A = this chain, B = another copy of it.
Amino acid sequence: MQSFKYDIPTVLYFGKGEVSSLKQELEGKYKRALIVTGSGSVKSNGIYDQVLAQVNKAGLDYKELSGIQPNPRIESVYKGVEIYRKDGIDLVLGIGGGSVIDTSKAIAAGAVYDGDCWDFFTRKAQPKGALDVGCVLTLAATGTEMNGNSVITNVVTKQKLALCTPYIQPQFSILDPEYTFTVNRYHTAAGIVDIMAHIFEQYFSQTEATDVQDGIAEALIRVCIKYGPVVMESPNDYHARSNIMWAGTLALNGLIGLGKESDWASHGIEHELSAIYDITHGAGLAIIIPNWMKNVLSSKTVSKLAAFGVNVWGIDAGKDPMDIAKEAISRTKDFFKSLGMPVSLKEVDIPRDMLEEMADKAIKHYGQVGAFKKLNKQDIIDILNSAL
């Protein structure tokens, strides 16, 4: 185990009706919020009104920014920053999934920066502060509700890049599993793949003796495997939605990655896919992950992939480790398929054309891609080719 600092200050209110806790987080602390929302579903399903009732009870003034798209754009962030400059706000309150929350966090950092906040994503500049961020989550997927990450797309430069800074860690998040009841099958499934991907990126590591972290990671993956099919069939199953939602938060609040080297190759490669082709992040990950696993499998990595097979998939530990690892990869792919996710580029109409360009860009944007196995350009091309 490596040394680490644990600092996860976000306060969570988890459970049915917990939106009622919002007032106490707002009252006396803030004066004017910027409320950020997506395509309008929170307005039609009543969640927006519930939040607004709390904002009003707490006596806050507010401004609005709506219409945030999936794979959210830097232009939306600029709009939020403009509102801050014109009207002044002291809290960015996102109501939605990862795209809305990531936009809210980027606005919070951009507001207190004089330059172009895309600089934070290209690493030309580092944030030195941010407005406070609050979050009402409506999709279990990205873990953004409890971390300092924001992923934003620049359609002009065809870049999808991440900002990671403690300044944008939400002060509080409301997690009501009932708010995810209305998420459709496709996005529910993509969310589950995203959660599993976050766990994989931290679980598969060469760092020794991380039993605590790995045991927690395995438990969270098993939760996805158990409850994923349940929420697909019974979207209003509160217990299943609760477990998926809580697993999604713990998958990327930092806990399971503490004290070990993380990988993030699948995310790096997928970000190049969705930057160009605007596919759903979870769908892209479902295509990349099994092919990444095949690429990294070797005598150096087999023990970890075999442990994954035994502890997560319940494969007989007496079998040959290489066979266990291969079976685990195949079961992971089958699981994604069973959720209705694509598992090849063909299924999402991505042709062979730009594979090399995407590999180039991944290397350019991330420097070293991967850590469990350090990938070179040819590895990335091979992964994309085997995903065709």
Which residues of A approach B to under 8 Å, CB–CB?
A: 1-18, 21, 208-209, 211-212, 214-216, 218-220, 222-223, 226-227, 239-240, 242-243, 246-247, 250, 258-259
Contacts and interface: CB of A to CB of B under 8 A. Distances in A.
Nearest to A146: B6
Contacts of A12: 4-7
Contact of A239 (B21, B208, B214): B208
Contacts of A8: 8
Nearest to A219: B215
Contacts of A247: 212
Given A5-B21, A209-B243, 4 more contacts: A2-B15, A3-B15, A5-B12, A8-B8
B11 A6 contact: yes
Contact of A14 (B5, B16, B227, B242): B5
B11 A212 contact: no
Number of copies of this protein chain within its complex: 2
B259 A246 contact: yes
A219 B13 CA distance: 25
A209 to B, nearest CB: 3
5 contacts: A3-B15, A9-B9, A209-B243, A211-B223, A216-B216
A323 B186 CA distance: 43
Contacts of A227: 211
A11 to B, nearest CB: 5
Contacts of A216: 215-216, 219
Nearest to A10: B6
Nearest to A13: B5
Contacts of A209: 239-240, 242-243
A156 B14 CA distance: 43
A227 B9 CA distance: 30
A129 B21 CA distance: 22
A211 B5 contact: no
A10 B239 CA distance: 29
A279 B382 CA distance: 63
B1 A6 contact: no
A212 B250 contact: yes
Contact of A212 (B10, B219, B258): B219
A57 B259 CA distance: 27
A15 B4 contact: yes
A200 to B, nearest CB: 16
Contacts of A258: 14
Contact of A246 (B9, B15, B212, B222): B212
A208 B237 CA distance: 13
A243 B216 CA distance: 12
A43 B4 CA distance: 26
Contacts of A223: 211-212, 215
Contact of A220 (B13, B15, B212, B242): B212
Contacts of A5: 11-14, 21
A307 B286 CA distance: 31
A317 B216 CA distance: 21
A349 to B, nearest CB: 36
Contacts of A6: 10-12, 14
Contacts of A240: 209
Contacts of A259: 14-15, 242, 246
Contacts of A242: 1, 209, 259
A247 B216 CA distance: 11
